[in-house]
Amino acid sequence: MKPKPTPIAEGKNDTIQVDPALVPEAANDGYWLWDIPSGRLTCGARAAAILGYGLTEMVAGQSGLEQSVHPDDRDGVKAILAAIRRGDRALFELEHRLRHRDGRWVWVLDRGKVTECDAAGRAVRVAGTLTDITARKQTEDALRESNDRYDELVRRIPLGVYTLRRRADGAAGFERASERFCQMLGLDEKDVLRDAESVHGCIHPDDRASLDEAERRAAQTLAPLRWEGRCVAGGEARWLRIESAPTVLPDGDSMWNGVISDITARRQAEEALRASEDQFRSVFLNAPVGIFHSVWEGRMLAANPALAKLLGYSSPDELVAATSDMTTQIYVDPEIRPQIMGDLRRADGWVHYDGVLWRRKDGRIITVDVTGRKVLDENGSFAYLEGFIQDITERKQTEEELLKSEEKYRFITENVGDVVWTLDPETLRFTSVSPSVRGLRGFTPEEVMAEPMDAALTAEDSRQARAVLAQRVGELRAGKVMPELVEVRELEQPCKDGSWVWTEVTTTIRLNEKTGRPEVLGLTRDITTRRAAEGALKRLADRDPLTGILNQRAFHAAATQRIAALGGAHAALIFMDLDGFKEINDRYGHATGDRALATFAQVLGDAFRESDIVGRVGGDEFAVLAVSREVVSDEALMARLRAELRQVGVSGELPCEIAASSGVAWWDASMGTADFPELIGVADARMYEAKRAKKAAAAKGRQTG
């Protein structure tokens, strides 16, 4: 149907007289009139103002209007105008951009209607309105950018993100599930969005009840949901943490926005920590230095025998029971511990404090080194303070006398085990060395002073010492006022017999009062025993406490390192599992079972070379990495072990025989270290094949018999 003409006439002063029905009442809308035969376009005051013009300025032809349209929108506008001229359209509504008088682009909603046609039905006049929608478009763009940033964030973070709508009638459905959310659960997004129960189907059967209960409580109370449990995806159980918070909607529904995170590594670490508690307890009780745990306020939680002895108590229990406030009961100066705790609060790791005065049970004052750290719980909150204490009373007394002596403390330096020395930082030559250097390094003082400083250090330590000394001397020469700075470092130094000794070197640099030249004062003490204790602690952490051989973590690390250094050699990974170990425990008791495990570990050590790596990698599972120039048969590889096991059976050391099933996998240079886990899997699978073959043969023998 052709549009019915509507009278529109021009008025005075170039304004347009229009039918009031066509003039919008909204203050933000402006109207325009297009006379097609003349091409004349006339705008009302508001339409002109949208583009930055006055009323009398906004009169233009069609071509001028088209040129003011944004290039990206021009084809669409032209197409609509052409359709109107042909009579194919009577109404239109279009969003596009027009150039403002100041050069910027303005978004408009352009709506028009043919108001007059000629006898042939072609449009003669078109009237319409312009609405400035720039602000709306900017808001839409900002919203789009915000959504894009949110989507990118969801893709990048290592968390699964979801939105669950729980209706008032109790039904629930997912409205959003991120890609990582679906990956963690081993599901397709479409399955999650179609059926919320598909997610619950992934939860481990043993944990489903706890999740149902957590969701029920959260739905009733509209409190945040916090849950940890296992899911099963791809046949593998993984630990997850679900966190979600609700928003109540006007219709009574609730929208739950949440995240899931994979906490498997954390859970495994917790299990490993629990497994190592007995081993840590052994180290704690037998360490040669004092160890304690305390709360932040100063109450002692635990102490080892070395600390109890150091402070004059008969037992750790007596010390712990007697110490409710370390600040006032143990620290001589009650202001020191708050200062130490302030430093610990700011520190991320271990912090060392030298020369702290402590009070023993009998009132005697001792000087100790305190090495401490704050231990945090899984939420990042303070759990307890851990400290290592060493009595340095004699050393501190020596150092104080050293600083007071006018003659470089000759008497003291000849009567203590620590080496006292002075060094010229400009010539890097020792100017004095106490006789105790002979006991520490085997050199006489004269031999040390005849060599430069570099001869007493490793190349790297020498480089660092030169740099520090050059800086300190420069500051002294420049007249910079510095507090007396004492530096303590642990260094490895050469001995006359070619060996090396670990030392703790305490130094300070200052101007000699008599000569005015820079001078380094130093004290060197032997820390071989302490380093050995630290090494023993590390070895304990790598050893299985029952058998004394490498534990699983240490075996994997040592085997991977050995494989990386093999070059052209071969290596056999032997995976073994004791046969009938459960029956041994059930029949003879766990004590005999433990003896069987320890005996088997000893046999492994005897049967293989010292260069081979032996470890206990499970309850009754053991592994050996044996290096060989060439691949040999499994029988040849295991012959020595089988002979040793037969000898154990003959000796009667145990009330039962020990036998093991084994699987062997070979590694060569064509494989990388990354293939080591796969190598373990191959050896493990072959071991189980051997075990099944043994059981089948035994069953067949029973049937034949």
Residue type at position 574: I
Residue type at position 166: R
Both tokens of residue 465? 């010492």
Q: Which of 270, 273, 308 is nearest to 287 (CA)?
A: 308
Top-confidence residue, 675 or 408? 675
Residue 316 pLDDT level (bands cut at 50, 70, 90): very high
Share of the chain above pLDDT 70, in %: 87
Which CA distances in Å does 338 have to 345, 433, 474?
Answer: 10, 39, 36
- The stretch 277-283 carries a mean pLDDT of 66
> Could you tell me where in the chain the CATH 3.30.450.20 domains are found?
9-138, 157-269, 276-391, 396-531
Residue 5 pLDDT level (bands cut at 50, 70, 90): very low
Residue 484 pLDDT level (bands cut at 50, 70, 90): low
Top-confidence residue, 264 or 154? 264
Measured distance CA(442)–CA(440) in Å, rounded = 6
Locate tokens 């009840």: which residue? 209
In this predicted structure, the answer to whether residue 15 has a pLDDT above a threshold of 50 is: no
Q: In 450-527, where does DSSP find H-type helix?
A: 459-477
**pLDDT tens, 211-242?**
989 888 988 888 898 999 999 988 888 999 99
Name the DSSP letter for residue 23: S
Fold of domain 396-531: Beta-Lactamase (3.30.450)
Measured distance CA(385)–CA(376) in Å, rounded = 9
For residues 627 and 562, the answer to whether their CB atoms sit within 8 Å is: yes
Can you give the pLDDT at residue 292?
Answer: 92
Residue 8 pLDDT level (bands cut at 50, 70, 90): very low
Locate tokens 């990042």: which residue? 380
Can you give the pLDDT at residue 139?
Answer: 87
Q: What angle do CA 212, 214, 219 make, to 5 degrees?
A: 95
In this predicted structure, the answer to whether residue 620 has a pLDDT above a threshold of 70 is: yes
In this predicted structure, the answer to whether residue 179 has a pLDDT above a threshold of 70 is: yes
- The stretch 331-350 carries a mean pLDDT of 88
CA trace torsion 665, 669, 670, 673 (10° rounding): 70
Can you give the pLDDT at residue 672?
Answer: 64
DSSP three-state, residue 240: strand
Both tokens of residue 149? 């940033």
Residue 59 pLDDT level (bands cut at 50, 70, 90): low
- The stretch 102-115 carries a mean pLDDT of 93
In this predicted structure, the answer to whether residue 19 has a pLDDT above a threshold of 50 is: no
Fold of domain 276-391: Beta-Lactamase (3.30.450)
Name the DSSP letter for residue 132: E
Strands (E), 20-159: 29-35, 40-43, 59-61, 91-99, 105-117, 123-132
User: Lowest-confidence range among 9-18, 153-162, 619-628, 640-649?
Assistant: 9-18
**pLDDT tens, 248-271?**
888 888 888 888 888 888 888 788
Which CA distances in Å does 41 have to 15, 34, 611?
Answer: 11, 5, 97
Measured distance CA(267)–CA(275) in Å, rounded = 12
Long-range contacts of 692-698 (CB under 8 A, 24+ apart): 694/579, 694/661
Measured distance CA(290)–CA(512) in Å, rounded = 38
The CATH number of 157-269 is: 3.30.450.20
In this predicted structure, the answer to whether residue 318 has a pLDDT above a threshold of 90 is: yes
Measured distance CA(453)–CA(293) in Å, rounded = 41
- The stretch 317-346 carries a mean pLDDT of 91
Residue 91 pLDDT level (bands cut at 50, 70, 90): very high
Can you give the pLDDT at residue 21?
Answer: 37
- The stretch 124-142 carries a mean pLDDT of 90
Q: What is the tally of helices (H) and strands (E) in the chain?
A: 25, 27
Measured distance CA(541)–CA(554) in Å, rounded = 9
User: Lowest-confidence range among 101-115, 138-152, 262-276, 393-407?
Assistant: 393-407
Q: At what angle do helices 552-564 and 676-704 cross, to 10 degrees?
A: 120
**pLDDT tens, 159-173?**
888 888 988 888 889
Please name the residues in contact with 555: beta carbons below 8 A apart, sequence gap of 6 or more: 613, 614, 615, 616, 617, 623, 625
Residue 17 pLDDT level (bands cut at 50, 70, 90): very low
Can you give the pLDDT at residue 120?
Answer: 82
User: Lowest-confidence range among 1-15, 64-78, 385-399, 414-428?
Assistant: 1-15
Average pLDDT value for the chain: 83
246 beta partners: 256
Top-confidence residue, 26 or 114? 114
**pLDDT tens, 507-538?**
888 887 777 788 898 889 988 887 777 766 66
Residue 606 pLDDT level (bands cut at 50, 70, 90): confident
Edge-to-edge strand list for the sheet holding 518-526 = 429-433, 419-424, 518-526, 500-511, 486-494
Q: At what angle do helices 528-542 and 277-286 cross, to 10 degrees?
A: 160
Q: Could you tell me which CATH class the domain 544-704 is placed in?
A: alpha beta
**pLDDT tens, 640-667?**
888 887 877 656 778 888 888 889 988 8
Residue type at position 488: V
Helix, strand, coil % over all residues of the chain, rounded to 5: 40, 30, 30
Beta strand 40-43 with 29-35 is antiparallel
- The stretch 445-457 carries a mean pLDDT of 92
Q: Which helix (H) or strand (E) holds 259?
A: strand 254-262
CATH number of this structure's domain 9-138, picked from the four choices 3.10.20.880, 3.30.1490.20, 3.40.1160.10, 3.30.450.20: 3.30.450.20
For residues 180 and 191, the answer to whether their CB atoms sit within 8 Å is: no
Measured distance CA(522)–CA(508) in Å, rounded = 7
In this predicted structure, the answer to whether residue 561 has a pLDDT above a threshold of 80 is: yes
> Could you tell me where in the chain the CATH 3.30.70.270 domains are found?
544-704
Residue 10 pLDDT level (bands cut at 50, 70, 90): very low
Locate tokens 């720039």: which residue? 134
Residue 443 pLDDT level (bands cut at 50, 70, 90): very high
User: Lowest-confidence range among 150-159, 210-219, 386-395, 424-433?
Assistant: 150-159
**pLDDT tens, 180-208?**
888 888 888 898 889 888 888 889 999 99
In this predicted structure, the answer to whether residue 416 has a pLDDT above a threshold of 50 is: yes
In this predicted structure, the answer to whether residue 6 has a pLDDT above a threshold of 50 is: no
Q: Which of 557, 549, 539 is nearest to 621 (CA)?
A: 549
**pLDDT tens, 685-697?**
998 998 898 888 8
Residue 276 pLDDT level (bands cut at 50, 70, 90): low
Which CA distances in Å does 68 have to 35, 58, 64, 112, 129?
Answer: 18, 12, 7, 18, 17
Please name the residues in contact with 390: beta carbons below 8 A apart, sequence gap of 6 or more: 289, 290, 368, 369, 371, 530
Can you give the pLDDT at residue 278?
Answer: 61
Q: What is the end-to-end Cα distance of the chain in Å, rounded?
A: 104
Task: Count Cβ atoms below 10 Å from residue 620 Cβ, excluding itself.
Answer: 19
Residue 47 pLDDT level (bands cut at 50, 70, 90): confident
